Chains A and B, each alone.
Chain A
Amino acid sequence: MKKSVKILLMILVGILISVSLSACGKSGDKKTLNVYNWGDYIDPSVIKDFEKEYNIKVNYSTFDTNEDMYVKVKSGGTSYDVLFPSDYIIEKMIREDMLLKLDMNNIPNYKYIDDKFKNLEFDPNNEYSVPYMWGTVGIIYNKNMVKEKVDSWDILWDEKYKGQILMLNSQRDSIAVALLKLGYSMNTRDLNELQEAKELLVKQKPLVYAYVGDEVKDMMIGEEAAMAVVWSGDAVFMKEQNENLEYAIPKEGTNLWFDNIVVPNTSKNKEEAELFINYLCRPEVGLKNTEYIGYSTPNVETFKLLPEELQKDKSAYPEDKDLVKTEIFKDPGDFVKEYSRIWTEVLVEE
């Protein structure tokens, strides 16, 4: 017994020493940059190359939803330098004065970003953010199970496909689908329109096989359902895995989404953060990330480096005419509770 206690103590002391040593190693002259990104949303070699080139240490951590990230940054106590939030949450963070204005002189590679992705509603003068990835929401379907042409949200309400439709278990996305089908704005603040959307979703419920999250990929690849509402980036992945799948952007319009790079006001190394953003906008670095993640790049030069078949892939890079009717999510502010209420009512409906 005594012996084992001794051994345990020795292990503990060893660990303590190694921890304090590694902590010491960190506090050298090297600058550190705290990056907070979505999980699995960067090519790991990009971070390593950046560290080597600029002799800056990158402290990398990840989050799962915009809301999680927002809470962490808002509550303070952290010192993140670079974040990757989506459109509507950037709008909210700008409004709440949580972001620093970027000095575009330090980000010369910003010129590679496609003009159509600049000065968007959530950051009108592009003072706070630089686009990182973008995409659309649409319908992925199995060509063997769906013989007709898919070009409208209406097909998700077709009795023929009862029990073969997958919807997203995400309140804003699913309500948006109903609103778009009705011809309303997906950022509506009209309670009557929301009520109509709710009735539509309730009507659709018997046809829906399941409300799903990430597992939609496995289910579509495994041919468990005929069609599903998905994000374009995931659609590209699914099409690679199963050639029977096809992606369509409905003609009523859809959601255009962005994940942009921003610097929060908790940052203590703004210059290094801008250096990092500029590095990410380099065409060949953008290429690495685009190939690793599989989402669409807003970088014109990166796009030119992509393999030709991907450049021509209409799921990832739809033609401009398909994007005319797209809308970007806006921060609903307090109205979000109406969306939550509607979605809960849909889910509990028998």
Chain B
Amino acid sequence: MVNKFVKRLYTTLIFLFLYAPIIILIVFSFNSSKSRGTWDSFTFKWYIELFKNQEIMKSLYYTIIIAVLSAAISTAIGTFAAIGIYNMNYFGKKVVLNLNYLPVLNPDIVTAISLMTLFRFMNLELGFLSMLLSHITFCIPYVILSVLPKLKQMNKHLAEAAMDLGATPFYALRKVIIPEIMPGIITGALMAFTLSIDDFVISFFNTGSGVTNLSITVYSMARRGIKPEINALSSLMFITVLVLLLIINNRTSKDIERRGEA
């Protein structure tokens, strides 16, 4: 009994520890005073201000566009790369996988500066395109790393069997391999999406005039103080992610139920 109580208490404390900052943030997004230290009174004004604030809305727009595009493109490239790597011989696999680890382990700042130098060398004007390209670049290794284990789990002979039964290689890829590794692809895409939304260093060095994402905008507010609108925006983003997560969870549990019935 006591044991159970301690267990529960421990879990609660852990979750409190993890979520306290977010709860405080949400609570303070309704604070009518500009200060982050003291509670004044309840208000929706920051949410209204948020949608009126062109600068924040514009960076939100760029953040989402870049995140969606870089997640989609890097997932496509990364998935095919993973399938290719999986089918390499032992030595080639080792070499390519280690090369793939390098960008993951590299500090962001190195990636950022080297990408910037590359773009400069290619005479590419820094802006939307350079930022998108750099996000795709740093997302690909993560996608490969999340797809590869799924390929290893898959029965090697499935694709061969499909082709034996008359499927063309492309048909087998589409109907057999990709569905089998779908969970890995989705994980990779989600990871790429969140990494892209999160990123500051690489974006900062590889963006040009007029194109900023949220992390740059928020960071550049530091001298004059982070605006309470950012609290409102963060709360909204948190709620959106939470709802998305609930929907996905709900779907998968229904899926499992359905399979159980069949």
Which residues from chain A sit less than 8 Å from chain B, CB to CB?
Answer: 1, 8, 11-12, 15-16, 19, 23, 32, 34-36, 38-41, 44, 48, 59-65, 68, 72, 75-80, 213-215, 217-219, 221-222, 224, 241, 293
Provided the pairs A68-B204, A77-B126, A79-B125 are in contact, do residues A38 and B210 lie with their beta carbons within 8 angstroms?
no
Q: Which residues from A are CB-within-8-Å of B72?
A: 8, 12
Q: Are A218 and B116 in contact (CB under 8 A)?
A: no
Question: Could you name 5 residue pairs across A and B whose Cβ atoms are closer than 8 Å?
Answer: A8-B72, A34-B210, A79-B208, A217-B225, A224-B37
Q: Which residues from A are CB-within-8-Å of B234?
A: none
Q: Which residues from A are CB-within-8-Å of B35?
A: 217-218, 221-222, 241
Q: Are A77 and B116 in contact (CB under 8 A)?
A: yes
Q: Are A218 and B37 in contact (CB under 8 A)?
A: yes
Q: Are A15 and B69 in contact (CB under 8 A)?
A: yes
Provided the pairs A59-B210, A241-B34, A241-B35 are in contact, do residues A39 and B53 lie with their beta carbons within 8 angstroms?
no
The 7 closest A-B CB pairs, nearest first, are A59-B210, A39-B220, A34-B209, A222-B37, A62-B220, A218-B37, A39-B221
Beyond A39-B221, A217-B225, 7 extra complex contacts between A and B, CB < 8 Å: A23-B128, A34-B209, A35-B209, A62-B55, A64-B222, A80-B209, A221-B37
Q: Are B209 and A59 in contact (CB under 8 A)?
A: yes
Majority-rule SS of B interface residues = loop
Provided the pairs A12-B68, A222-B35 are in contact, do residues A214 and B119 lie with their beta carbons within 8 angstroms?
no
Q: Which residues from A are CB-within-8-Å of B54?
A: 44, 48
Smallest Cβ-Cβ distance to B226: which chain A residue:
A214
Q: How far is the CB of B53 from chain A (nearest CB, A)?
A: 7
0/1 interface trace, chain B 211-231, chain A, CB 8 Å (1 if under): 110001101111111110000
Complex Cα spacing A65 to B182, Å = 44
Smallest Cβ-Cβ distance to A44: which chain B residue:
B54
Q: How far is the CB of B217 from chain A (nearest CB, A)?
A: 6
Q: Are A38 and B65 in contact (CB under 8 A)?
A: no
Smallest Cβ-Cβ distance to B72: which chain A residue:
A12
Which residues from chain B sit less than 8 Å from chain A, CB to CB?
Answer: 33-38, 53-55, 65, 68-69, 72, 116, 119-120, 124-126, 128, 130, 179, 182, 204-205, 207-212, 216-217, 219-227
Q: Are A221 and B38 in contact (CB under 8 A)?
A: yes
Complex Cα spacing A293 to B116, Å = 33
Q: Which residues from B are CB-within-8-Å of A214?
A: 222-226
Picked from A34, A38, A59, the residue with its CB within 8 Å of the CB of B220 is A38
Q: Are B212 and A62 in contact (CB under 8 A)?
A: yes
Q: How far is the CB of B132 from chain A (nearest CB, A)?
A: 9
Complex Cα spacing A40 to B128, Å = 22
Complex Cα spacing A40 to B54, Å = 12
Smallest Cβ-Cβ distance to A231: which chain B residue:
B223
Q: What is the total of A-B residue contacts with beta carbons within 8 Å?
A: 110
Complex Cα spacing A221 to B39, Å = 12
Complex Cα spacing A219 to B210, Å = 34
Complex Cα spacing A80 to B209, Å = 6
Smallest Cβ-Cβ distance to A58: which chain B residue:
B210
Smallest Cβ-Cβ distance to A215: which chain B residue:
B36
Provided the pairs A1-B182, A62-B220, A241-B35 are in contact, do residues A19 and B208 lie with their beta carbons within 8 angstroms?
no
Q: Are A62 and B126 in contact (CB under 8 A)?
A: no
Residue of A38, A61, A64, A293 with most partner-chain B CB within 10 A: A61
Q: Are A77 and B34 in contact (CB under 8 A)?
A: no
Smallest Cβ-Cβ distance to B132: which chain A residue:
A19
Q: Are A65 and B209 in contact (CB under 8 A)?
A: no
Q: Are B209 and A61 in contact (CB under 8 A)?
A: yes
Complex Cα spacing A215 to B223, Å = 10
Picked from B124, B211, B219, B222, the residue with its CB within 8 Å of the CB of A213 is B222
Smallest Cβ-Cβ distance to A220: which chain B residue:
B37
Q: Which residues from B are CB-within-8-Å of A15?
A: 65, 68-69
Q: Are B38 and A65 in contact (CB under 8 A)?
A: no
Provided the pairs A39-B217, A77-B124, A214-B222 are in contact, do residues A44 and B209 lie with their beta carbons within 8 angstroms?
no
Complex Cα spacing A214 to B207, Å = 25
Q: Which residues from A are CB-within-8-Å of B221?
A: 39-40, 62, 64
Q: Which residues from B are CB-within-8-Å of A35?
A: 209
Q: Are B209 and A1 in contact (CB under 8 A)?
A: no
Q: How far is the CB of A275 from chain B (nearest CB, A)?
A: 17
Q: Which residues from B are CB-within-8-Å of A11?
A: 68
Smallest Cβ-Cβ distance to A216: which chain B residue:
B225
Complex Cα spacing A347 to B216, Å = 28
Q: Which residues from A are CB-within-8-Å of B128?
A: 23
Q: Which residues from B are CB-within-8-Å of A60?
A: 55, 210
Q: Are A61 and B212 in contact (CB under 8 A)?
A: yes
Q: How far is the CB of B179 from chain A (nearest CB, A)?
A: 6
Q: How far is the CB of A141 from chain B (nearest CB, A)?
A: 18
Q: Are B224 and A40 in contact (CB under 8 A)?
A: yes
Q: Are B220 and A64 in contact (CB under 8 A)?
A: yes
Complex Cα spacing A72 to B116, Å = 10
Complex Cα spacing A16 to B65, Å = 9
